[in-house]
Chains A and B, each alone.
Chain A
């Protein structure tokens, strides 16, 4: 058992008796990992505690909390998952009063797998593992360095592979709407494959990820066509940071910028005409 897994085990054991459950990952048949709510009634199940591959636990948390809004839970979350929880909190999708965050710090190979700039938690009081620096995102750099026609060619090719499984939407911790614009004929040609040309599916989704994407890359991971859609989200997140000084998951009080009035100096950074 790795050090991190041992520490996590201990951290969960410590809080488990006082809670209705701890949401973490469990190794199942064939070593296949999935989210699981460990309970004080069955502490022995912690023997099957797992940490990799990561799973969209904020989404699972939301499912549990919708049925049990007053449950006292803890969740084992990585940096991206913590950001996901914070953004869901900011969108009134869950409360944090009864929630304990156990921050699991990613290791370098994990961060590199996710091309993650922030593989660490910032809000969790209990920390497991050593926080490390973010890593570069070579793919995003590579795509953003392409010329305009090259970019278009790149994305046309990627989008051509899309089978509209809606997996990217389904797995996203920030896609919690009851109905979805992507299923509305007004915005996306629904029920038709191959994708229309042009199709706005991925662009509508990218716009909906503005100031919302927490860079967990679950969408890319679940995509059967391996479309690197997080590249879009990350480039936009960079702009939102530059223009409006907003980062998802950072400040619990800060509201998404596109909802609010312009602050001093913001207009000048939008590139709009004077």
Chain B
């Protein structure tokens, strides 16, 4: 494109639009370029500035600041994109020049209607809400609490700990998961700056960065936390055994009054009303009778708490892919097909088998074990994404099986992904340990015998893609390395906190590379697997990162919020309430006394959906008013039409 021509054209043809000076300078964003603008503002008394250059996403802030330094309100600056959206995408140089003229005319048309705006400053409440007490939430809470700020940690389950508390060993170091986790859990439970709210859920979030009001439902435990010492007599005496589908992944039992696992924090049990004999039949109360401190309180009521916080960290974790969905893998139908979580519990010495790896009958040790990677991941029928942890987890399983049973182990993988420090070394260790690696996606697991030697076995049907051979591998036990998926209620949670979900319902970060723990909603951060599949080290890193982001905001004391908000013209507003219903942020109120709508500036994010809705156009969006957009459009149209006329002539 001929930028010089565009500049000269603008000086000549846009004079009547108010253009006083037009310059062509190659490095406008450099400090010299900025000084050039500032000099022109001062010498020529400019009140508006347009820069035609790269994308405003790159340098709008640069030029806004430059204008501001020269005394021109930053909102009186307009940037038009003649690089990414013109010269780089247009083949014909002359056409690109013409397009640039139209874009410059549009920006000049628009800038005349722009109005100075001032950003609003709001104070930051230093308290922080952390949602989810898994390892990411624990890390975030501790970082913040250690800095001296107060944290409300809300956890849905009776204890914090999350998935990590269920695991046996952690890859690749084979540390005992509980051994490294429980000290941190203990710290959280005893921290003077942490209010731990387990068996609780966030009901409602109102407000905006610095000033959230959060309503939390603390479900009735039926336990008086003041009196309970966590001695365990109640669950010893409780006569009702319940299959534990949550912590033990259906591999073991708990009682109707229970703590999910021995190291649970807090130590108080909960009474599971759905299974408690007293709640079902009206009699029993064994726990109450034997409790030495009289801490059992039947028919307790849920408590509704309201807390004020300035920032929120969501660390709500993941759900395990439901392996039942892949019917050809036979989970639930074939006894000796296990999920990864079942295996974790089985391998855990505190688990239902006391750490013995045995078949479903509870006693037979397997001689051959097959581990199926990518169950529900990297599969267009289920989840297209890679669950990130399965390869390493499967390698860990292979090692544990080998170590504990001496069985032959087959790993069926699509690709081996070990991209982190010492992960690849772990893979090599497994290769050396004699694990068989078969590259291929398992087609089917069945008990249908076709060949001799398959009797009583599970047969894993797979194409070895390295040799091109179809294999039938008879095994005693198959472990499905199930993928991670977003929480079943992730969308509801996202809506509650005003953030977005991807198509797979993972929470969306503000920027995938440069802002991985912030969200598009100011003051709401994400950490751990709720943002996408990740392993423990990454979850911990994100927990700490989110805490750092929050602390940096708290440190600022107050924060600037978007100036381009919506505003209602009270004279013309007819009070029809349509904008109120259309606002994604509940930022618009109805003033009963006046019968008019009113925008709460601090809540408004400036999307303008209300403006698109308002029929009399009584509501407008600052910096994106109808006048501004129409002027921009007319600016571009006029130039396009004039070129058309020239061509006809």
Flag whether A151 is at the interface (Cβ < 8 A): no
One digit per residue, 1 when the CB lies within 8 angstroms of any chain A CB and 0 when it does not, for chain B 389-430 equals 000000000000000000000000000000000000000000
Contacting pair A177 B627 (CB below 8 A): no
One digit per residue, 1 when the CB lies within 8 angstroms of any chain A CB and 0 when it does not, for chain B 570-598 equals 01111111100110100000100001000
Q: With CB as the reference atom, state the residue of chain A lying closest to B583.
A: A259
Q: With CB as the reference atom, state the residue of chain B lying closest to A177.
A: B616
Contacting pair A186 B616 (CB below 8 A): no
Contacting pair A258 B616 (CB below 8 A): no
Kindly provide the distance from the CB of B327 to the nearest chain A CB, expressed in whole angstroms.
Answer: 25
Contacting pair A91 B578 (CB below 8 A): yes
Contacting pair A92 B618 (CB below 8 A): no
Contacting pair A181 B574 (CB below 8 A): no
Q: Which residues of B contact A259 (CB under 8 A)?
A: 578, 581-582, 613
Contacting pair B626 A186 (CB below 8 A): yes
Flag whether B617 is at the interface (Cβ < 8 A): yes
Contacting pair A93 B582 (CB below 8 A): no
The residue that B571 contacts in the complex, of A93, A178, A180, with Cβ under 8 A, is A178
Flag whether B176 is at the interface (Cβ < 8 A): no
A residues 171-228 with Cβ under 8 Å of B? 176-181, 184, 186, 208
Flag whether A32 is at the interface (Cβ < 8 A): no
The residue that A178 contacts in the complex, of B582, B616, B626, B630, with Cβ under 8 A, is B616
Flag whether B615 is at the interface (Cβ < 8 A): yes
Kindly provide the distance from the CB of B572 to the nearest chain A CB, expressed in whole angstroms.
Answer: 5
Prevailing SS type, chain B contact patch: loop
Contacting pair A208 B615 (CB below 8 A): yes
Contacting pair A186 B627 (CB below 8 A): yes
Q: Which residues of A contact B571 (CB under 8 A)?
A: 178
Contacting pair B630 A177 (CB below 8 A): no
Q: Which residues of B contact A92 (CB under 8 A)?
A: 575-577, 590, 595
**A177-B615 CB under 8 A given contacts A92-B577, A186-B627:** yes
B residues 541-588 with Cβ under 8 Å of A? 571-578, 581-582, 584
Contacting pair B573 A178 (CB below 8 A): yes
**A179-B572 CB under 8 A given contacts A186-B630, A208-B615:** yes
B residues 369-402 with Cβ under 8 Å of A? none
**A180-B576 CB under 8 A given contacts A92-B595, A259-B582:** no
Q: With CB as the reference atom, state the residue of chain B lying closest to A256.
A: B578
One digit per residue, 1 when the CB lies within 8 angstroms of any chain B CB and 0 when it does not, for chain A 131-150 equals 00000000000000000000
Contacting pair A179 B577 (CB below 8 A): no
* Residue tally, chain B, CB below 8 Å to A: 21
**A184-B617 CB under 8 A given contacts A178-B571, A259-B581, A260-B581:** yes
One digit per residue, 1 when the CB lies within 8 angstroms of any chain A CB and 0 when it does not, for chain B 608-623 equals 0000010111100000
Contacting pair A181 B615 (CB below 8 A): yes
Prevailing SS type, chain A contact patch: loop
Q: Which residues of B contact A176 (CB under 8 A)?
A: 574, 576
Residue among B590, B615, B616 having the largest count of chain A Cβ atoms under 10 Å:
B615
* Residue tally, chain A, CB below 8 Å to B: 18
Q: Which residues of A contact B617 (CB under 8 A)?
A: 179, 181, 184
Q: With CB as the reference atom, state the residue of chain B lying closest to A180.
A: B616
Flag whether A156 is at the interface (Cβ < 8 A): no
Kindly provide the distance from the CB of B599 to the nearest chain A CB, expressed in whole angstroms.
Answer: 16
The residue that B574 contacts in the complex, of A177, A186, A258, A260, with Cβ under 8 A, is A177
Flag whether A241 is at the interface (Cβ < 8 A): no
Q: How far is the CA of A45 from the CA of B584 in the complex (A)?
A: 52
Q: How far is the CA of A177 from the CA of B569 in the complex (A)?
A: 13
Q: How far is the CA of A184 from the CA of B569 in the complex (A)?
A: 15
Kindly provide the distance from the CB of A47 to the nearest chain B CB, expressed in whole angstroms.
Answer: 38
The residue that A258 contacts in the complex, of B576, B613, B618, B630, with Cβ under 8 A, is B613
Q: Which residues of B contact A93 (CB under 8 A)?
A: 574-576
Flag whether A255 is at the interface (Cβ < 8 A): yes
A residues 242-263 with Cβ under 8 Å of B? 255-256, 258-261
Q: How far is the CA of A221 from the CA of B574 in the complex (A)?
A: 26
Q: With CB as the reference atom, state the residue of chain A lying closest to B495.
A: A261
Contacting pair A178 B572 (CB below 8 A): yes
Q: How far is the CA of A181 from the CA of B616 in the complex (A)?
A: 5
Q: Which residues of A contact B573 (CB under 8 A)?
A: 178
A residues 13-62 with Cβ under 8 Å of B? none
Contacting pair B578 A179 (CB below 8 A): no
Q: How far is the CA of A258 from the CA of B574 in the complex (A)?
A: 19
Q: How far is the CA of A47 from the CA of B575 in the complex (A)?
A: 39
Q: With CB as the reference atom, state the residue of chain A lying closest to B617.
A: A181
Q: Which residues of A contact B613 (CB under 8 A)?
A: 258-259
B residues 472-517 with Cβ under 8 Å of A? none
Q: How far is the CA of A91 from the CA of B571 in the complex (A)?
A: 17
Q: With CB as the reference atom, state the residue of chain B lying closest to A93.
A: B576
Q: How far is the CA of A11 from the CA of B585 in the complex (A)?
A: 47
Q: How far is the CA of A136 from the CA of B571 in the complex (A)?
A: 43
Q: Which residues of B contact A179 (CB under 8 A)?
A: 572, 616-618
Q: Which residues of A contact B615 (CB under 8 A)?
A: 177, 181, 208
Interface, chain A (partner B; CB < 8 A): 91-93, 176-181, 184, 186, 208, 255-256, 258-261
Given contacts A92-B590, A256-B581, 18 further A-B contacts (CB under 8 A): A91-B578, A92-B576, A92-B595, A93-B575, A176-B576, A177-B572, A177-B615, A177-B616, A178-B571, A179-B616, A179-B617, A179-B618, A181-B617, A184-B617, A186-B626, A208-B615, A256-B578, A260-B581
**Sample of 29 A–B contacts (CB below 8 Å):** A92-B576, A92-B590, A93-B574, A93-B575, A176-B574, A177-B576, A177-B616, A178-B572, A178-B574, A178-B616, A179-B572, A179-B616, A180-B616, A181-B615, A181-B616, A181-B617, A186-B626, A186-B627, A186-B630, A208-B615, A256-B578, A256-B581, A258-B582, A258-B613, A259-B581, A259-B582, A260-B581, A260-B582, A261-B584
